[in-house]
Structures are given as structure tokens and as C-alpha cells.
Amino acid sequence: MSSLEWAASALQAFDGAVAASKGFRSREGQRRMAEHVARTLSVATLGKAEKSNLPQESQIGAVSGADEPVRAIAVIQAGTGVGKSLAYCAPAIALALARNTRVMISTATVALQEQLVNKDLPALAALLPEPFRFALAKGRGRYVCKLKLERLTGMAADGAAAEHGSHGEEGDNFEDDLFADEEAGEGASRAVRPPHEVAARLQFHTGIAQALDRGVWDGDRDSLDAQPAADLWAPMAADAASCTGKHCPSFNGCVYYERRKTLVGAQVIVVNHDLLLSSLNNRLLPELDNCLLILDEAHHLPATALAQFACRMDLGRHAWAERLAQRAVRVGVRLEVTEVADIPMHASQMRQALQQVERLVMELYGEALQTGLANAFNATGRNTSRARLPLGELPEALQGPLGRVAHHASGFLDALRVIASALRAEMRDQPALARRLSAMYAQLGALAPRLEQTLDTAQLLLRDATPGAAPAAKWFTLEVDGDLATLQAHASPLLPGATLRNNLWNKVRGAVLTSATLTSCGRFDFFLRESGLHGLHEEGVATTLEVPSPFDYAKQGKLIAVETRADPREAAAYVAEMVKALMRDLADVRHGALVLFTSREQLRMAVEALTSRLKSIVLLQTAMPRQQLMATHRHRVAEGLPSIIFGMQSFGEGLDLPGKLCESVFIAKLPFASPDDPVSEARAEWLRTVGRDPFTELVVPATAIRLAQWVGRAIRSEDDRASVYCYDRRLVRTSYGQRLLQGLPAFALTTVCAAEVAVVV
């Protein structure tokens, strides 16, 4: 079948699904999107398949060269109400079935994953003529490790001493210390848990184990009624470093591997951006050159990439290295691994080098860090300060010690890999000892990631930028939490586009990126650059399509720009005036409303200004879990009562509150990113050195996307009527404000003075 025939067949599948859907009606924009998805994915060369015989002029994204595979990537902005899930799912799945391949759908949020797996895909499966299977892939850490849980409950039952790793002579039972490092690893100076806390932890883990044994719980963290605290979940969570796979005595009943079995026969796999990027160099997910990739909520991809490839290491706490070395030596000697002889030297030299780095950092940056701590003081007693390296230039004094850290961490890690390989071989040859050997493996695996992190951080800190390229962002932090001080070194790539280009797009053949907010100020340029697709767009490999919302924004909504007298840059005066105007406008709310703040100080002052009536109808994001807050809000509105949500930036995206649930959105201030983010700071600094303007090139476009998301909370259906209030006068008084307006829905715009009374729809 030719590419044209594949595309036509995929579009026919979409049309059939729409026709068979109850309550669905044909949407021009949705079909345009489906057609573009079908045409794009049909021409991509997958696996080792030969290039299509499609005429060159019809090959979207074709790469020149007879022996080169065709790559095709579509970047599609689909406005609210387009129905983008069906527009990409139906043609992509039909193509995958026709081409005997798979579709991988990646999202940024759990909410969309659940919508796809629990609603959209089951509905589509009933509509398409050919059956397909789908599965949800999660990171290993979302599942419980049965072996860890078994050890945890048995260990805790032996008393508090066992929980804290106080075993005296370890002898052959050194694996009894299996989980102590996971709690103590964050610092040897942490206080010993009081007996009542030990008992509470034992009760929790025992209850979890019983629920798992009875089948009441399936081992998935997300299916628990209440999410456990990180320090309760981490000791029992599955992780790659301590997992022995098929050699584990609990392998046949392993929750993680049982879930992975569902992926084997699935034609559609739903993942998230974090898992996608963390799996690039292993075989946990389908190979990107042999599957069709859909990236929904794609505007999150650049930030996810930076977070994924950033790294950090402790400079002041090194006891973990000694513990890891001791365990590695004991296991290595038992297995007769010759490389074990080098481990004590590598561990000792690495620790000495880390201590030297710590001393030099405090000599070079201690005053700045201490000053920063004084300025960052807060009532919780937990404060953090930062010292960033200008242009990522590492002082010469640190280069030698960090080089030694990297050298010895690398040698240590090489020896660990040999020991791990020997352990797996022993498990294979001695199945009767599998449980005991798995415990040994877990002992090493619990601390090995810290060694890998140390190596990665040292290497990135030492890396010099090539001429003309952006340097890495590099900085040190000092955190004080009560009596505990933590000094850390950090490094991060500066440009998400380069990171994605070098690690993701060089593997992908056919992909669709979509979101309601991919354009910034009306253009795709910013997203293409941030996502690493700018060059591919110029080459014709990546194409863009904007599908507008079917909503009549001019009739359905109003944008009210409230101008304060105070300059928004004068924080105290502005917040006081803004809060006064906000209180006046909130008094007129009759149904549901959402107020979005850009800082906790704004939120605090607004809460303090609430009248007794408003206090009774305001729901604070900080006061209850999100799911509970939304349920309360919906119940109040359903009962005919007013309900106002006070939220921070995270509430500006992903909330779907149609109709009366959100008739008004109040934006306290333009949502500029935090000015003290070290990566953003470093990037702005670099741009200035090469003669570019970071405010115009970075700040305004990023704010435009964020503002569009916030404003997008207002109109969620064709029947909605809503008003959006923005109290930041810069939206209408500045040239960049006009650019921001270009990226917003075409609401009827009204400008009022903060002293005037506005009417809420």
C-alpha cells in the first residue's frame, strides 16, 4: 500500500469513527487536523522499511537522499473544543494497524493519561472496525516492590534497631541492613526516629502489605486512596538500580513486570513525557524509529527535557560512598571479582576530592551563600541560597578536584557494574540463593544511583561549551533545615531545543506534537526553537498547522483589563491596590470563579482581605488536595451556591470547569516566570553576551503561552459565557502587552480603571 493509500485509509477510519459516534457532529477543524496527522504519519519510514514510491512533491517532510529514511513531524495547535484526542488517535491507530506498528502517546499530566486510557481509547475501540489493544506505561517507581515490602515489614518487626540499621556485627546477614540507607542516606546526622514513629511506619507498611496480599490493592501508587508521603513510599518503591528482574524470587508476582506484560501486545501505549525521555537509551518503550509518536500537551516538552537532563550532587555528605564501597567489597570478594581491589581506593579518593571541592566552594562562594541565606530567611527554618557561575565558567581551582571526582566515580562505577553482572550470573546459576542474592543486589542498588549522579554532575560541571554554543548552567546551593546544612553542586543544559534535537529527534521517524498553546503571540517560532524543531521545520521535515477553536469568543467572553494606578513592578503598592479591586469584583460572583495568583504573598494578602461572606465561599489551593477541592467546588455550584477557587500557577492549566463552574477568571498579575530561576538566569546572561534580547526572545513568548493557558480556563464549551479579568495594566499599556493580546482568544476587550466597578457576567 502506498503512502497516499495509507493516508486515505486512516482518514476514512476517522470519518467512520465520527459518523458512528453518538452525539458527535462533524467539525471542520477536527477533520483538518485528522487529515494532517494522517498525511504526516503515512509518509514516515519506519524500521528498515524501504522508502515509499510516493512522488517527491507529496512527501511531507521527506529527507533528501535515496538511502535515507523519510522523517515527518507535524506541530499542530488545536484550540479548545477542536477535539484533538480523536483527531490524532483515530488516524494514528488506523495507520499503526495497517503498517503493523504501534502508536505511543505521551502526555504531560496524569489527568490526560487517565482520560485517554479510561475514556477516549475505550470509546474509540468501539468505533473503529479493526480491534486494538491499549495500555498505560508508568515509571517503575510508581509500583511497589514486593521483595522490598517483605523486607520492610520483617525488618521493622524486629524492632526499632532494625529500622535504623543498628545490627552490630553484620556477618553473612549484612543484607538485613537493606533499607536503612534509603532513609539514612539523606544524611547520617538525621535524628533517630522516636519509637512511636517507628511503630506508625510499621503499621503503615504492614497495612499496605496486607492490602496487596488480599488483592484489595493492586500495587500501583496512584490507585491508593491517599497518596503516601515520599519518605514512606520510597523504601518500598520499585527501582531499576536494585531490581534483579527475572532473577528475583518475587519476579513471577512482580507488580511492575506484570504491568509491563500488558505492553507487549498493545498497539497503543500511553506514557508521559518524563518516562519517554528517561527511556531514550534503553528498551523499556517501543523504538522511536519504528513507531508512531504522539506528543500531547507538547508545550511542556522543553521544560521536561531540561529537568530530565539536569543533575546535582552532594558536596558535604559523603558517608554513602563509604557504605557503598564496604558493601561492594564484601559482595565482590564473595563472588571473587578481581576489580573489587580498586574500589577502596576509588571511594577514598573520590571522597577526598569531594571534600576539597566543598572547601573550595565555601572559600569562593561562602560569603555570597551566607548572605543569600540571611535574605531568604523564613518562619519554617528552611532556607536556601544559590551562587551561580557566570557564563558557566568553572574556576580553575575547582577543575582539578572535580576532575578527580569524575575519574574516581567512573572507576568506582565500572567496578560496581562488574560486581552486578557477577551477581546476576550467580542468581542464574544458584536459583536456590536467589532471595539472598537479590538482597545483596538491592544493597548495592540503593546507593549506586548517587554514584551515577555524582559522575554525571562532575562531568557536566567540567564540560566547556564549544565555540559559539551555549554553555551549561552551573550553580551551587546551600540549604539550612534546622540544624542540618546541605551544600550541593548543580548543572543543567541551557537550551532545551539542543537537548531534544540531540537525544529525541535524531531517533524519531514519524511524530505529531499538539496542544492548545503551541503558538506564542500568534507564531510557532518560539515553540519550534524551544522544542528543537526549528531546523527541521526549515528543512521541511517538520510542518505546522493551527486549528482554531470552534468557539465564538467575541460573543461568549469578555476580557476586562483593570488598570491600577500603581506600577505592577512596585510590588507592595500594586498588590494592595489589586487586592482592593479584586475584593470588589469577587463580591459580585454568583456561581463558580477562579482566581490565579503569581506569588504566595499575593495569595496571603488576598486571603487577609476577605470579608466574612467571601471567606465562606473561597476554596484555597493550599488548604486541601486538588481532587477534594474540585469536588467541593462542583458540589457548591450544583447546589446553586457561589464558589471561588484561589489558586497558584499550577491551577492555571488543566482545570476543566465548564458552564457555571467557572464564569469568571481573575488574573492577579501577568504570569512571568520566576526571575531567579538559575537556568533562565544563565540563558538570559548568555543571550546578552551574543547581542540578543532575552526579554523579547524568551520572557515575553513564554509568558504568552502561560497567559493563554490561564485565559483558556474561562470558555470550555460552545454554551459557556465567561469574563476574564486581568489587573496588570501592562497588558494594554505596553508594546509587549499588545503581543500578548495577539495570542489570546478574540474576546471583547474592555479597559477600566481599578477604581471603577466592573460587572461580572
Q: Are residues 152 and 12 in the same domain?
A: no
717-729 mean pLDDT? 96
Q: What are the residue ranges of helices labelled H in 587-733?
A: 600-609, 612-617, 626-638, 678-689, 694, 700-711, 730-733
**Lowest-confidence region among 2-6, 302-306, 352-356, 458-462:** 2-6
Query: Is residue 760 included in any domain, yes or no?
Result: no
Which of 492, 516, 533 is the C-terminal boundary of a domain?
492
CB 36, CB 92: distance < 8 Å: no
314, containing H or E segment? strand 311-314
Rounded to an integer, what distance in angstroms lies between the CA atom of residue 471 and that of residue 392?
6
Which of 453, 471, 492 is the C-terminal boundary of a domain?
492
Q: What is the pLDDT of residues 596-628, one digit of tens each?
A: 999 999 999 999 999 999 999 999 998 988 889
Residue 403 confidence class, pLDDT cut points 50, 70, 90? very high
Q: Are residues 301 and 442 in the same domain?
A: no
Q: How far is CA 196 from the centre of its chain?
A: 35
Query: Is residue 759 included in any domain, yes or no?
Result: no
Range of the domain at 182: 141-256
The reported pLDDT for the residue numbered 51 is 44
> Which has more confidence, 156 or 315?
315
Alpha-carbon separation of residue 594 from 198, 640, 653, 719 (angstroms): 42, 17, 12, 18
CB 695, CB 687: distance < 8 Å: no
CB 542, CB 536: distance < 8 Å: yes
Rounded to an integer, what distance in angstroms lies between the CA atom of residue 129 and that of residue 9?
12
User: String of b and e for 424-462 (b: at least 16 CB within 10 Å)?
Assistant: bebbeeeeeebbebbbbbbbbbbbbebbeebbbbbbbbb
Residue 56 pLDDT > 90 = no
Report the 10 Å Cβ neighbour count for 560.
22
Q: For residue 105, give the C-alpha cell.
A: 502517546
Query: Is residue 522 included in any domain, yes or no?
Result: yes
CB 137, CB 258: distance < 8 Å: no
Which of 236, 256, 276 is the C-terminal boundary of a domain?
256
Q: Are strands 72-78 and 510-515 parallel, antiparallel or unpaired?
A: parallel
Nearest in space to 708 (alpha carbons), one of 526, 577, 585:
526
Residue 551 pLDDT > 70 = yes
Mean per-residue pLDDT of the chain: 89
Query: Is residue 711 included in any domain, yes or no?
Result: yes
CB 299, CB 515: distance < 8 Å: yes
The reported pLDDT for the residue numbered 377 is 59
> Which has more confidence, 173 or 201?
201
Q: Are residues 479 and 419 in the same domain?
A: yes
Rounded to an integer, what distance in angstroms lies between the CA atom of residue 389 and that of residue 365?
10
- What beta strand segments (E) does 81-164 contain? 103-107, 134-136
Q: How far is CA 388 from the centre of its chain?
A: 24
SS (H, E, C) 517-541: CCCECCECHHHHHHCCCHHHHHHCC
Report the 10 Å Cβ neighbour count for 288.
21
Query: Is residue 717 included in any domain, yes or no?
Result: yes
Maximum distance among all alpha carbons in the chain? 82
Q: Calculate ∠ Cα 88-54-511, nearest 5°.
A: 30
Residue 82 confidence class, pLDDT cut points 50, 70, 90? very high
Q: Are residues 535 and 558 in the same domain?
A: no
Q: Are residues 339 and 433 in the same domain?
A: yes
Nearest in space to 324 (alpha carbons), one of 311, 313, 335, 340:
340
Residue 24 confidence class, pLDDT cut points 50, 70, 90? low
Rounded to an integer, what distance in angstroms lies between the CA atom of residue 336 and that of residue 341?
10
Q: How far is CA 88 from the centre of its chain?
A: 22
Percent residues over pLDDT 70 in the chain: 91
Residue 185 pLDDT > 60 = no
99 burial level (CB within 10 Å; 0-12, 13-18, 19+): buried
CB 500, CB 302: distance < 8 Å: yes
Q: For residue 370, give the C-alpha cell.
A: 551566607
Rounded to an integer, what distance in angstroms lies between the CA atom of residue 420 and that of residue 395?
37
Phi-psi region of 61 (alpha: psi -120 to 50; beta: other; left: phi over 0): left
Q: For residue 23, give the C-alpha cell.
A: 452525539
CATH assignment at residue 514:
3.40.50.300
The reported pLDDT for the residue numbered 432 is 86
Q: What are the residue ranges of helices labelled H in 3-83?
A: 3-20, 28-43
User: String of b and e for 72-84 (b: at least 16 CB within 10 Å)?
Assistant: bbbbbbbbbbbbb
Q: Are residues 276 and 342 in the same domain?
A: no
Alpha-carbon separation of residue 203 from 151, 153, 179, 196 (angstroms): 14, 9, 17, 10
Q: For residue 213, give the C-alpha cell.
A: 496480599
Q: Are residues 8 and 44 in the same domain?
A: yes
Query: Is residue 390 included in any domain, yes or no?
Result: yes
Nearest in space to 44 (alpha carbons), one of 512, 504, 545:
512
Q: Are residues 630 and 749 in the same domain?
A: yes
Residue 165 pLDDT > 60 = no
Residue 151 confidence class, pLDDT cut points 50, 70, 90? confident
Nearest in space to 160 (alpha carbons), one of 201, 115, 117:
201
Q: Which residues pair with 105 in a beta bridge?
A: 270, 294
Q: What is the pLDDT of residues 255-313, one digit of tens each?
A: 999 999 999 999 999 999 999 999 998 888 999 999 999 999 999 999 999 999 999 99
Residue 419 confidence class, pLDDT cut points 50, 70, 90? very high
Q: For residue 557, give the C-alpha cell.
A: 467572553
Residue 684 pLDDT > 80 = yes
AA identity, residue 68: E
SS (H, E, C) 221-250: HHHCCCCCCHHHHHHHECCCCCCCHHHCCC
Rounded to an integer, what distance in angstroms lies between the CA atom of residue 434 and that of residue 437?
5
Query: Is residue 761 included in any domain, yes or no?
Result: no
Query: What one-character-per-residue DSSP string does 450-498 give?
Result: HHHHHHHHHHHHHPPPPTTSPPPEEEEEEEEETTEEEEEEEEE-S-HHH
Nearest in space to 234 (alpha carbons), one of 185, 191, 172:
185
CB 322, CB 135: distance < 8 Å: no
CB 596, CB 652: distance < 8 Å: yes
Q: Are residues 512 and 404 in the same domain?
A: no
Q: Map residue 7 onto helix, strand or coil.
A: helix
Q: Are residues 350 and 243 in the same domain?
A: no
> Which has more confidence, 481 or 142?
142
Q: Calculate ∠ Cα 178-179-184, nearest 5°.
A: 125
**Lowest-confidence region among 44-53, 82-91, 240-249, 697-706:** 44-53
Q: Are residues 558 and 626 in the same domain?
A: yes
Query: Is residue 704 included in any domain, yes or no?
Result: yes
Rounded to an integer, what distance in angstroms lies between the CA atom of residue 77 and that of residue 705?
12
Q: Are residues 150 and 203 in the same domain?
A: yes
Rounded to an integer, what distance in angstroms lies between the CA atom of residue 698 and that of residue 682?
12
CB 600, CB 648: distance < 8 Å: yes
Residue 168 confidence class, pLDDT cut points 50, 70, 90? very low
Rounded to an integer, what distance in angstroms lies between the CA atom of residue 511 and that of residue 73?
5
Single pTM value for the model:
0.89
Report the 10 Å Cβ neighbour count for 386.
19
Rounded to an integer, what distance in angstroms lies between the CA atom of residue 577 and that of residue 496?
38
Rounded to an integer, what distance in angstroms lies between the CA atom of residue 292 and that of residue 106?
11
Q: Are strands 292-295 and 103-107 parallel, antiparallel or unpaired?
A: parallel
The total domain count for the chain is 4
| Residue for grid cell 496527522 | 37
